[in-house]
């Protein structure tokens, strides 16, 4: 009989130990929950419509989002996106001479000359940014083309997600209304 009591005692101790381990696991999971976005993902980047779902992968957790447009140069649009006062994304349009590859080579774009290129040669993109050739002509800017670019300050989304974002942003800039806003 004594032997049976010891076995039963070990079973109770094992059950108590297992309960303790489970309690510790639950507390660890709850205590280390990832921070959340307390703001709504914007549906436009400084006036340029973009689906929130394509912007969201590049926005970190935080309390407040703000967009800072700068349209100080005719035809250019600079848009910084801040979360809790820190710049996390920059979306821009500007007129440039040269090819998509030349523009992608600008270190401020987040893409580079070795970035992935779409089959139609209109977009170059990497994890930190992308550049797109906008279908918009301005007769007062002969020899120049309008380019759109998106750059993130820190790796957050995938290369494929960047392709989707630069494509959506560029296509929105190419609408007749947006194109007209960028002409001289």
Please name every residue paired with 70 in a beta bridge, in sequence order, or none if there are none: 78
User: What mean pLDDT value characterizes the chain?
Assistant: 85
What pLDDT band is residue 8 in, cutting at 50, 70 and 90? low
C-alpha pair distances (Å), 35 with each of 16, 29, 63, 85, 115: 32, 13, 10, 17, 31
Residue 86, both tokens: 């820190």
Helical segments of the chain, H only: 2-31, 52-55, 100-104, 159-173, 176-181
147 by DSSP, 3-state: which? Answer: strand
The tens digit of pLDDT for each residue in 76-85 reads 889 999 999 9
Q: How far apart are CA 99 and CA 30, in angstroms?
A: 51
């Amino acid at each position: 009989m004594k032997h049976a009591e010891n076995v039963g005692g070990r079973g109770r101790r094992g059950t108590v130990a297992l309960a303790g381990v489970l309690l510790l696991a639950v507390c660890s999971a709850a205590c280390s929950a990832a921070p959340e976005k307390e703001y709504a993902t914007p549906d436009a980047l400084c006036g340029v419509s973009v689906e929130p779902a394509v912007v969201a992968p590049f926005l970190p957790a935080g309390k407040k989002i703000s967009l800072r447009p700068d349209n100080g140069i005719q035809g250019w649009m600079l848009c910084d996106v801040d979360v809790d006062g820190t710049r996390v994304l920059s979306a821009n349009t500007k007129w440039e001479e040269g090819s998509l590859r030349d523009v992608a080579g600008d270190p401020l774009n987040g893409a580079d000359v070795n970035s992935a290129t779409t089959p139609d040669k209109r977009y170059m993109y990497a994890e930190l940014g992308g550049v797109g050739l906008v279908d918009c002509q301005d007769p007062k800017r002969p020899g120049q083309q309008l380019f759109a670019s998106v750059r993130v300050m820190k790796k957050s989304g995938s290369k494929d997600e960047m392709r989707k974002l630069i494509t959506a942003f560029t296509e929105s800039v190419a609408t007749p209304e947006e194109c007209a806003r960028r002409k001289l």
